[in-house]
Structure 1
């Protein structure tokens, strides 16, 4: 088995000219595809046999919603009554959810390491291992291609950059709902259409002038309810948001104007979220990392949402899924997986509504699986969970739902649900540069 302790000890970093250069060696990079998976997870299972070895993941099916584990039953279910027995494999936020809601439970199923990506992603990750560098104190990247710059990470910032740059299909269009759920369980779904493209997947290829420092392009359009329709957000997501802040524009249907939107960042309220998430809560974390100190605690085994085929079932209605306080636990699935644990603490002199965030990142996909958020008093406030799902037709491990629970108000927010939206995610779409311009969102707004 790959020596994780040795990896965490080999964190020598060179600081020079404002750059932070990772000390990944050729010897470490050579383990990719050997003792490590092509993107850096430990290939072997655990000693107890409760986590199996990775054998290539789950790929190649055109029927993404067919549940290959439909006949499996939970090994056991964690409730408030027996949580103490399993607390070493739960986060403080998960324990708090069990304590707050008698109806919340964590059904634990057999572990399947299903994450799989295209070969070109694996090749890029291996090349990145010895070329990618953090720059400007960790706020930017260079020497990076395609996805996953640091498959053999040396610190917390490298782990979080792996999450932000992980493979999500290269280009896609998705229609989903984001649902603020009130404490009594009432809700009104907000239907959203999004288009995303990384520069390498644009029609005509990359443009060195336009795409310099661009991680991806993004357009978000609210389609329902009627009171929110016509509002459109455009983002040019930059790799270094300190030297070149995220470029954002909004089209306001009421004003019929496109405006620059520099406030679309950090803890600004998220789109149509009823104040239940920050801008950087989307995807459990996104955007500039410069307001926090990032500490890599290490790796641990954790019960995390995984292989959420049941939750993605096309026969479900949103009323089946959304219950007072939390998602319906009869539809969720948790498995034991290894995760990277990263603690982000607010820098002195910086401002954010979250003074501390603890991230637990799935080793097989670099998807943040669980995150605990603490307020300025040091009290646990919000708990985020990503219900992961392998899009087998596109070899993309991503989400079928992301939930953000507010322990203080009893409300929660769910995004990425597509059960009533057809296929939801379309990874075959290809866009042009002109689709991601202020003129384009003005047309969409009309």
Structure 2
């Protein structure tokens, strides 16, 4: 642990305000798939042996599927120990401030069950090759708000990061399985645990997987996202469309909403930054989606270093199709008897709101899994410097497709005692990876058809 801190402590600095940040040298890039994994994590385990070496991740046949749904490759394992409010002080060095705040807010019910660590992350070989290209070519531009020389690779912009913004860009540009369709639900429980589920149909498509996308449009395109509300009935038929760009300062996010009641398509500039999340009852902002999404330009980003933390990982049980939403959603927080935590190395980054900019979060702290570049824990602070919300993503590997992903995300308001959980799919049909997407389906003109009830 001390060696890790020493190694990465030298990287703790804010992003330089230069117009271009250089890519790494061929000698540095050669570390990928050598001392580093192909995506830039430390390949070796830790000195204590509590984090194993990465040996390639889960195989595509790691466990049988249940009607397309994942099952648990580690179903026979038991927790090595359980962290509670009574013994939390013993484990503080491997817990975030946000996790410690959860123990204080819910001393009788919150727990962390710690299992053996498995480094299960894997992506297709072509994505590893793309990451190597990114390391050699991709650069930050516009003060870090955009990236250049990236269009040929498209994934993991900076697998050997030098600053906080490059770590954020790895999260933003990570591999998500190509085009994906999914049915998911969202819940915003009251303090007594009562809730109403909101059902969504999501579609996401990427420029490299859309054959009819205009080449000029594709150059600065990051992804295309469409989300249709299917329940409850008062919201059913509303549709959101988002076009995200690589440089959102040069070409800001474009968003439209189809309102089923009005039968009108409107531009939606509020679907950005701290604009309200869809049907979220005020419990999350737009840029809380996917733990963090959108333009990074309103913050100064600092790379604090690397550390070992107990984080939600290999979350197959809480994602199981045998588990009902009522089993997961409880008062105060999700059912921690279903959650699995493991010890993993994470990058820690801190974002402070720039002078003259506005966002309801004055400071953010993110913890990013080294093997997948997914943000797994977040701490969000208000303008008074008080910890307000604690984010947690339950990571798992879609082993049959070689896709690291989230089972779902939760965002806890440690002041009000409420939370939001989004992305659950236990009772839905299995996700559809790799579907054929047309650019025509992601236009404002297509929204009306998508919103027909």
Compute the TM-score of the two structures, normalised by the length of structure 2: 0.95
Q: How many residues align?
A: 443
**Aligned mate of 1:175, from 177, 180, 183:** 183
Please give the residue correspondences for 1:38-437 in structure 2 after superposition, counting only pairs within 5 Å: 38-61=38-61, 63=65, 65-101=70-106, 102-144=108-150, 145-204=153-212, 206-423=213-430, 425-437=431-443
Decide whether aligned partners of structure 1 residues 127 and 7 sit closer, same or farther in structure 2, where only a CA change above 3 A counts. farther
Q: Deviations over 1:73-119 (max 9, x none)?
A: 10101111111100010011100101111201000000000000000
Q: CA separation in 2, counterparts of 1:13 and 1:246?
A: 25
Deviation at 1:6, TM superposition (A): 5.2
* Partner residue in 2 for 1:28: 28
Deviation at 1:234, TM superposition (A): 0.5
Q: Deviations over 1:295-323 (max 9, x none)?
A: 00000000000000100111111111111
Q: CA separation in 2, counterparts of 1:5 and 1:434?
A: 51
Q: CA separation in 1, counterparts of 2:447 and 2:330?
A: 35
Decide whether aligned partners of structure 1 residues 121 and 218 sit closer, same or farther in structure 2, where only a CA change above 3 A counts. same
> What secondary structure is seen at the aligned counterpart in 2 of 1:319?
helix
Deviation at 1:426, TM superposition (A): 1.1
CA contact (8 A) 1:164 1:286 kept: yes
Q: CA separation in 2, counterparts of 1:409 and 1:14?
A: 34
Q: CA separation in 1, counterparts of 2:368 and 2:20?
A: 22
> What secondary structure is seen at the aligned counterpart in 2 of 1:211?
helix
CA contact (8 A) 2:11 2:163 kept: no
Q: CA separation in 2, counterparts of 1:388 and 1:417?
A: 12
Q: Deviations over 1:344-399 (max 9, x none)?
A: 01111111110111000000000001001111111111000000110011110101
Q: CA separation in 2, counterparts of 1:289 and 1:439?
A: 29
Q: Deviations over 1:17-50 (max 9, x none)?
A: x623135222211000000000000000000000
The Cα RMSD (Å) is: 1.8
CA contact (8 A) 1:14 1:22 kept: no
Q: Gaps spanning 5+ residues in structure 2: where?
A: none
CA contact (8 A) 2:15 2:302 kept: no
> What secondary structure is seen at the aligned counterpart in 1 of 2:100?
helix
Q: Deviations over 1:115-138 (max 9, x none)?
A: 000001100001110100011000
Segments ≥4 residues shifted beyond 6 Å:
1-4, 10-16
Deviation at 1:3, TM superposition (A): 7.6
> What secondary structure is seen at the aligned counterpart in 1 of 2:435?
coil
Q: CA separation in 2, counterparts of 1:181 and 1:36?
A: 42
Q: CA separation in 2, counterparts of 1:426 and 1:202?
A: 16
